[in-house]
Amino acid sequence: MSGGEWERLIERLIASGILKSPRVIRAMRLVPRIMFLPDDQKPYAAVDTPLPIGHGQTVSAPRG
């Protein structure tokens, strides 16, 4: 995943009215989801869906 993909997802979530809080938007830009994913899931970090992180757990979709 490139930083551009993550930024495009954030922009789509803002445009659709899902992301509204400037504090949440800033946090998402400062701490990208890829940092919390195992290596095999990193290519999907900018996909708006929950992703498995191991032990039967998932990281939430960005729209949460």
| Per-residue pLDDT tens over the stretch 1-15 | 667 999 999 999 999
The span from the CA of 10 to the CA of 52, in Å, is: 21
Residue 53 lies in domain: 3-59
Would 64 be classed as within a structural domain?
Answer: no
Q: Is residue 40 part of a domain?
A: yes
Say whether 21 is catalytic: no
Q: Give the pLDDT confidence of 2-56 residue by residue, as tens digits.
A: 679 999 999 999 999 999 999 999 999 999 999 999 999 999 999 999 999 999 9
In a domain, 8, yes or no: yes
Could you tell me the pTM of the whole model?
Answer: 0.85
Number of domains comprising the chain: 1
Q: Is 15 contained in some domain? A: yes
Q: Exactly one of 2, 16, 21, 60 is catalytic; name it.
A: 60
